[in-house]
Each structure stands twice: as structure tokens, then as C-alpha cells.
Structure 1
Amino acid sequence: MLWWRRVWGPLIVSAGLVLMQSAVAQAAAPTVPVPPGDLIPDTATGDLTDADIDLVVKVRLAGLWEIPAGEMAQEKSENPKIQKIGKEIAAQHGELDKLARAAAKKLEIKLPNDPNKDQQGWLDEMADAEGEEFDQIYIDRLRAAHGKIFPAIATIRASTRNDTVRLLAQQANQFVATHMTLLESSDIVDFEALPTAPNPSAAPSKAANSQALNNVADTQSIQTNRGLIIAMIAVIVIGGGFLAWRTLGSSSRSSRRRARY
């Protein structure tokens, strides 16, 4: 039975250690959920406001300048990281633009076919720049633009009565969050130049603060309990394996003693 001890003993201990590491990872880094967009209907049902229309137009406008900007990044930048960021953002805006045009068609919204004056100015600025200067302009202009549209998308997502606009806002929100992260991965974003958030107009009530703290505590408690359960299973696996190992070892030694007599 020595082969059993030599092979299965370490395997049982390893399995327990893996479970314990999983428990620690779950407690430290909970999974971030992705909003299930397929649960939102797309029937153009609900009142359509001027703000809703403006969002659809802005999503279209974003693609009209960020796609050519991404193409310039691939051609003009000497930095492989910037080239990759430009390629990814341009490709993703191509997909987002399809979603915006489909929503506009369903809602009978007229869309522009050219960038606006500011966007064209940014493209001209990039066209005149080279090397590291181009990289800085490309990253900063796109990061600032995404920072402006991000809260606008959130407002429409939270308030629109129209399901098609709601779906587009949710999709756009995920694209924009990804693009900001990609741009920031360049490590050259000038965060000091970004506008600061306005001061809160009023402090939240004590009841709201208390409820928020309770929600955080409940979430942390669930995550901690899940980690403890996995840790307990790991301990049981290790303990059971060790006991079986010792028992089989003792049986093997007893058998050898009986064989000698």
C-alpha cells in the first residue's frame, strides 16, 4: 500500500490547498457582473424624449470620429500599445455604430454622417501630429470625450421610458467603460487635465447612509461566508486524506509485522 500513500497523499493535500486558495480569492476579489442586456426588450415601446434622441445621435457621432482616429493610431503611432488600443477601439465603435443605426431606424431618428465641429478639430489635430505628440493627443482627446459621454449614458439608462433607447444606453455604457480602461492602459493619460466632479449639492441623509452601509455589510458577509465554507471543505478534505493515509499506513505496517511472525 506504500504506492497509495506516495501518490494519493500529496494529491489530496494539493486539492485541499487549491480549495483554500479559491476561498481566499473569492473573499478578496468578488466577480464583477455584466449587465444582462438580453433581458431588455427592443420594441421601440415607450415615450421618446429629446434627451433620448440626443443620446442616439451622440453615440453615432462618437463612431464618426473615433473610428478614423483609431485608424490614424494604427498608421501614425510608433508605439505598439497605442496601435493596439486604436485598433480595438475602432473595431468596437464599428459594432456600436451598427447598434446606434439600428436603434435610429427603429425610432425614426435622423442621424448625422459627419463628425461635428469639435470632433473634426480633434481629427485635424491628430493628423498634424507625429510620434509621441500624436500618442498624447489621441489618448487625451478620446479619454476626455469618453468621460463626458459616460455620465450622459448613465442618466438616460436610468431615466428613459423607451425600451430601445434603454437597450442602446446599456450597450453603450459597457462599450464606453471598456474604452476608458483601454485608453488608461496606455499609462499616458493626463488625469490632472480631466474635469473634476462637482461637489454634492446636499449631504445624503443618515438613513440613506445607514442603508448603504448595511448593504455593503450584507454583501461582505455573503462573500466571507462563501469563503469560509470553501475553506472548511478544504480542511475536511486535507484532514480526511491525512487520516486515510495514516490508517492505511498503520494497516500496512501491521500486515508486515504479521508476515514476519
Structure 2
Amino acid sequence: MLTRLAQVVTALAILCSLAAPQAAAQPEFGPEYTQTQFGPMGPAGRDMLVKVRLAGLWEGPAGRLGLEKSANPLVKEAGRHLISGHAELDAKVLELGRTLNVPLPSDSNADQKGWIAEMTNAPAGSAEFDRVFANRLRAAHGGVYKFLAVVRTGTRNTLIRDFAKRCMEVVLDHIQVLEATGMVDFTDTEAIPLAALAAAPVGPAPVPAVPPAVPTVPRTQNIAQENGSGGSDAILGVLVMVAVVGGIYLWTGGRPRRSRSSRE
């Protein structure tokens, strides 16, 4: 009897394993990804390291120009933040480039050289220098901050995620000290495109004349998923009942109990 019971339990276990939903397969990454011990390294992570390196190549020198040429103490303070912040990020990005095998630039690009030239050519101690300094750097930091947020939320590489977080902290600090100079022109919608959107009046949303049709495909998909889940639960419930009945049957020897009158 115990042997028969063991056979029923084994068969039930096999059926349960077949009825249980299979684990989701791990995602496959394309050829542009490389596997590392810190997680997959993709194009966005490599692009982030390159952009942070490029930022340090011109924003550190720009900070030194702020200290040397501005008569505004708030601009000088912003320059100090730029120098210290990018010194930290530059050392870290070079380390990560070696660790993750990402080649990094050694010179700033043409646009960055042009911005440095603007600051160099502006008269020392002038409001013109302070405006160029604050607005060029504020626009650059705003674009980088949005890019870092996208990388931070999407990467599966722990080194890139942690570095993106630190970069966002440093870049936000630089944005704040640049804005504190009072020289940032928020009406320059080319440099700060969200300024126009923020200034636009907010009115009531228009009511459509014809209500949009309710899509049916997602609901059908949900129903199919619910039915699939419910079907698996029902199968498991039936198997449990079979196991209980089979156990009782085998425990009693598979024979009906005789009444007392028949035994007499």
C-alpha cells in the first residue's frame, strides 16, 4: 500500500510541475552589448562615459576662467564648483573607461572650443563675460542632466548606474550655482527649450466632439491572460483533490468497509 501511495504522489508531482507556469526567459541583448561582471554594457552607458569626459575637458577650464576673469563673486563661486566637481568626475570616468574597456576622448569638441573662445574673448570683469559664462554652462548642464536621468533609469550595469547618480548630483549642483549668479537668461528658448513651455498659459483641455473608440485588443489580451492564470489554478485544485481521494483510497486498502450485519 505504501508503494502505491508513493507512486501516486510521484505522478502528482510530475503533473504539478507540468501545470506550473514556466519561468520567463532571460532577455537577450544585441551585438552592441557586452557582458561584464557588473551587468550588460550597452551604447547608452558608453555614450555617457564619453559625454562626461568631454564635459570635464571644457567645463573645468571654463571654471578657471570664471575665477580669473569675473569680478562677480557669485560667478567666482560657480567657477570653484565647476573646477572641483569636474575634477572628481574626470578622475572617476577615466577609471571606469579602463574598467569597462571604453575609449575616451582626450580633447574637447569643436562646439566646446567655441564656447571657451567666447569666454576668452569677452572682456575681463565685464557683464558680457558673466553672461556668456553663466548661459553657456547652464545650457550645457541642462542637456547633460536630462541625458543622465535617461541612462540612470534604463541601465542594468551597476557601475554605470552608480556613476550616473553621482554625475546627476554634481551637475544639479552646478546648475544651481550658475542660476544663483542671476545671469541666466531663461527667455532664451534655444538654450533652455522648456522655458517657453513653462511660461505658456494653461487652459482647460478641449472636449472632443466624438468620444474615442475604446480599444478592444488590450482587454482581449487581459482576458486571455486571466483565463490562462485561472486555468492553471483550476488544474492545480483538481490535482490536489485527486491526491486526497487517492490517499484515502490507498490508506483504506481500496476496499469498501463491510457493514456490521454482513460480518455477523
Give the TM-score category using the shorter length.
Answer: 0.5 to 0.7
Listed as ranges, the gaps of 5+ residues in structure 2 are 1-35, 198-204, 206-264
CA distance in 1, matches of 2:184, 2:69: 18
Paired position in structure 1 for 2:255: none
Superposed CA deviations along residues 130-185 of structure 1, whole A, max 9, x for unmatched, are 21111100000000001101111000000001111111101101011111001011
Paired position in structure 1 for 2:38: 45
- RMSD (Å), alpha carbons: 1.8
Q: Secondary structure of the residue that 1:47 maps to in structure 2?
A: strand
TM-score, normalised on structure 2?
Answer: 0.57
CA distance in 2, matches of 1:44, 1:143: 36
Residue 97 of structure 1 pairs with residue 90 of structure 2: yes
The code of the aligned residue for 1:152 comes to: F
Residue 146 of structure 1 pairs with residue 141 of structure 2: yes
Paired position in structure 1 for 2:194: 196
CA distance in 2, matches of 1:169, 1:198: 28
The code of the aligned residue for 2:38 comes to: T
The code of the aligned residue for 1:94 comes to: A
Query: Is the 2:187–2:196 contact (alpha carbons within 8 Å) kept by the matching residues of 1?
Result: no
Superposed CA deviations along residues 23-81 of structure 1, whole A, max 9, x for unmatched, are xxxxxxxxxxxxxxxxxxxx851111111100011011111000000101111111122
Query: CA shift at 1:104, angstroms?
Result: 1.1
The code of the aligned residue for 1:57 comes to: V
Of structures 1 and 2, the one with the larger relative CO (CA 8 A, separation 6+) is 1
Q: Secondary structure of the residue that 2:194 maps to in structure 1?
A: coil
TM-score, normalised on structure 1?
Answer: 0.58
Identity %: 42
Q: Secondary structure of the residue that 2:80 maps to in structure 1?
A: helix
Q: Summarize the Cα distance change of 1:128–1:157 in structure 2 as closer, same or farther, 3 Å threshold.
A: same
Q: Summarize the Cα distance change of 1:180–1:120 in structure 2 as closer, same or farther, 3 Å threshold.
A: same
Query: CA shift at 1:197, angstroms?
Result: 7.2
Q: Summarize the Cα distance change of 1:58–1:198 in structure 2 as closer, same or farther, 3 Å threshold.
A: farther
Query: Is the 2:187–2:195 contact (alpha carbons within 8 Å) kept by the matching residues of 1?
Result: no
Residue 163 of structure 1 pairs with residue 158 of structure 2: yes
**Structure that is richer in helix per residue:** 1
Paired position in structure 2 for 1:66: 59
Residue 76 of structure 1 pairs with residue 69 of structure 2: yes
CA distance in 1, matches of 2:182, 2:128: 14
Listed as ranges, the gaps of 5+ residues in structure 1 are 1-42, 204-261
- The structure with more radius of gyration: 2
The code of the aligned residue for 1:183 comes to: L
Regions of 4+ moved over 2 Å = none
Q: How many residues align?
A: 158
